[in-house]
Homo-oligomer: A and B are copies of this chain.
Amino acid sequence: MEDLFAEPMKGVPRSFIREILKASLDPEMISFAGGLPNPAFFPAKEIEQAGRQVFEKLGADVLQYSNSEGDPQLREYISNRYKSHHGLSISPENIIITNGAQQGIDLIGKTFLNSGDEVLIEKPGYLGAIQALSLYNITFIPVPVDEGGMDVAALEQASAGRHAKLLHLVPTFQNPSGVTYPDENRQQVAAVAEKNRFIVIEDDPYSELRFSGRAATSFGQFLPEQTVLLGSFSKVVAPGLRLGWIAAPGWVHEKLIVAKQAADLHTCGLTQKLVGEFLLEHDLDQRIALITKAYGEQCRAMLDALKRYVPEYISFTEPEGGMFIWGRLPESMKSLDLFQEAVKEKVVFVPGEPFYTGDAATSTFRLNFTCADPVTIEAGVRRLAKAVSRFVKS
């Protein structure tokens, strides 16, 4: 009865990422493949403590159904933080608490997408967005991204006179490439969006994980009535709690609420209160400073080792924050083939292919540096270098 499936479900390939995660289970494997925050910084004790306080204050009420928008106190915290850390005026009334930023992407799909619509997406782009939006039976129009940000001429060409409704971006410490759009580039992208009437989705789970350079300006500054912001506690508190948010102008927000209610009524009330209580009692900035210090050192260690051990014809991005470095082999070399050699050397990464919606740059790959200490990172890069030299010989 497979004919009953929705169209986009018929073409879903087996996830390569899952295969990689399986390889990562080998205890001798050094994995640069994951996308996990470092659990050493998860506030387990503090969340447990928050649990006691929440139950003392609220009792059984915290376990009842609550509203689709999410906890008012938590939304106010997020609103205040937009003001103090990003210079953005976002009312708590424009925020919905979601099950991670991933759900925000899905709610945007519900709100905007008809079968056959066009969606602009980064090339390479965020895998979770590709997965979520592709289930709306849409056509992706990939727009190239590199150290200079988005290719504005390509964006103009991809959207002028066409009907793309959305542009999905991770403009700060992008997943997978680690690049950050310069402010000037953001302004140009916003101008194209305004002119060609599409919504900019600024998917931003990483911007607070900055370990060098200066903060970039949110699209919410350049284009407030056409920007939908996605945020997350996954990388600064803990991901398993599944707490993110979506902030949108009023005309979009009122539809997003309908989508959220249809999707699952509301986000878990207890975890919202746990994180709210945690944020009340602890300084998030202090915690973030610890995380970025470690990630910065780990990123430095990886870049240094890559320079030292890996041949110069393989290039790497140099991120100022976030969780990923992007590698580029000469075009004649496929990262999937390198991956096979790397597994033999007990090191894994993610070949670039899943991050592309159209023609894939098969010579690219993603390295993650958040979950290994500098010594392990150096060892892993040496294994990678061995895999490269074996690969070149073969």
Contact = CB atoms under 8 A, between A and B. Distances in A.
A242 interface: yes
Interface in A247-267: 251, 255, 258-259, 261-267
Interface in A124-139: 128, 131-132, 134-135, 137
Interface residues of A, number: 75
Contact of A271 (B110, B131, B134, B268): B268
Interface string A253-288: 001001101111111111100100000000000000
Contacts of A263: 99, 102-103, 106, 132, 263
A9 B62 contact: no
A192 to B, nearest CB: 15
A103 B242 CA distance: 15
Nearest to A256: B9
B268 A6 contact: no
A51 interface: yes
A224 interface: no
B42 A251 contact: no
A114 B7 CA distance: 7
B264 A102 contact: yes
B4 A199 contact: yes
| Copies of this chain | 2
Contacts of A98: 264
A115 B115 contact: yes
Contact of A64 (B59, B65, B240): B240
A63 B42 contact: yes
B36 A60 contact: no
Interface in A103-158: 103, 106, 110-115, 128, 131-132, 134-135, 137
B51 A131 contact: no
A55 B48 contact: yes
Interface in A27-83: 36-37, 39-40, 42-45, 47-48, 51-52, 55, 59-66
Interface of A: 1-2, 4-7, 9, 12, 15, 36-37, 39-40, 42-45, 47-48, 51-52, 55, 59-66, 98-100, 102-103, 106, 110-115, 128, 131-132, 134-135, 137, 165, 197-199, 226, 234, 238-242, 251, 255, 258-259, 261-271, 274
Given A132-B263, A242-B267, 6 more contacts: A36-B64, A63-B239, A99-B264, A103-B264, A114-B115, A268-B268
